[in-house]
Amino acid sequence: MGTGHGYGKVILFNEHFVVYGIPAIASAIDRKTVAEVKRCEGEGFILHDNREATPGYKEDKAEQQRESIERIKKAMGITDCIEIWLHGDLRAASGVGASAASCAAIARAIADEFSLSFSDEEINNFAYEGEKAYHGNPSGIDNTCATFGGLVWFVKGKGMERLSPPQPVEIVMGDTGKVANTKKAVEGVKERREKYRERYDEIFKEAEKLAHEARDVLLRGDWEKVGELMNRNHKLLQEIEVSSPELDHLVEVAMENGAYGAKMTGGGLGGYMVALTPGKELQEKVARAIEKEGFYALRTRIGI
């Protein structure tokens, strides 16, 4: 039986903008999806999805997941029937790179089962193929984090550059519990950008400037400034209409409880937000405040 893994992720700056060639900054988190694969009789594949998940997530994504696995198999040249088991400590939800983590894990497990020697770069390409089923036009940032781990500076079409902050830092990710349609969110931005081109060009210009500023302060470990820039990035994402009332509410809860900065993360319209909470004590305070509001809080770190 072949095994493989893929990391969850958090986008710290510029989801959506990244689709248009603007730099984004993202990090793998210390949670992952594990896949196990073995050959079976018949055709196609059999899937056992044993991941913990936001209610409704797996059901809502089932069709996209099937297409994703077919895409990965085709890209890898696999025609045999395979049986797949998915598990791990990454809770499947929108905004935490769950689909990319599963794509990378499945690609690695298939390679292991069939004794295929693929590089991480090739695994990343297979995961990207799988991501197309979920995102339509993926930027590639999710599968890059899922495959390689670490903190990355990412430009679509140019790939990634690893960033090394002085030390890992605690964050809290709050799940709205709302399953989001990333493909719909991406298409919505495209339509509005075409309709309100001048206004959107200004927003996109500001997002690019912000990314370069964020890169510098992250590398210095200036967490107060990083938080301030995250707040600004959230406002830009609100302006392109990819946030939601639930996300905005959790951002407010985090800020009221001492987070250095907070914003939506991922495709938006639901899914996760992220709060920067250096130190275990602040992390716990913000996480408990989110839980008190009735939402799921994930305590993790970036820069690992």
Residues identified as active-site: 142
Hunting for tokens 């809502």 — which residue is that? 60
Tell me the one-letter amino acid at 139.
Answer: S
Give Cα separations from 274 to 230, 240, 271 (angstroms).
9, 18, 10
Q: Residue 33 forms beta bridges with which residues? A: 6, 88
Contact between residue 278 and residue 269 where contact means Cβ atoms under 8 Å apart: no
Residue 110 has which token pair? 């298939």
Quick one: CA dihedral 208, 210, 213, 219, positive or negative?
Answer: negative
CA distance linking residue 303 with residue 122, whole number of Å = 24
Residue 168 has which token pair? 């890992």
Residue 272 backbone phi and psi in degrees, to 5 = -100, 155
Tell me the one-letter amino acid at 290.
Answer: I
CA distance linking residue 302 with residue 149, whole number of Å = 10
- CA atoms lying within 13 Å on the CB side of residue 230: 30
Closest CA to 13 of 22, 3, 1, 2: 22
Residue 65 has which token pair? 């997941």
Give Cα separations from 86 to 48, 49, 90, 106, 141 (angstroms).
6, 5, 11, 8, 22
Tell me the one-letter amino acid at 265.
Answer: T
Q: How far is C-alpha 241 from the chain's CA centre?
A: 19
CA distance linking residue 288 with residue 286, whole number of Å = 5
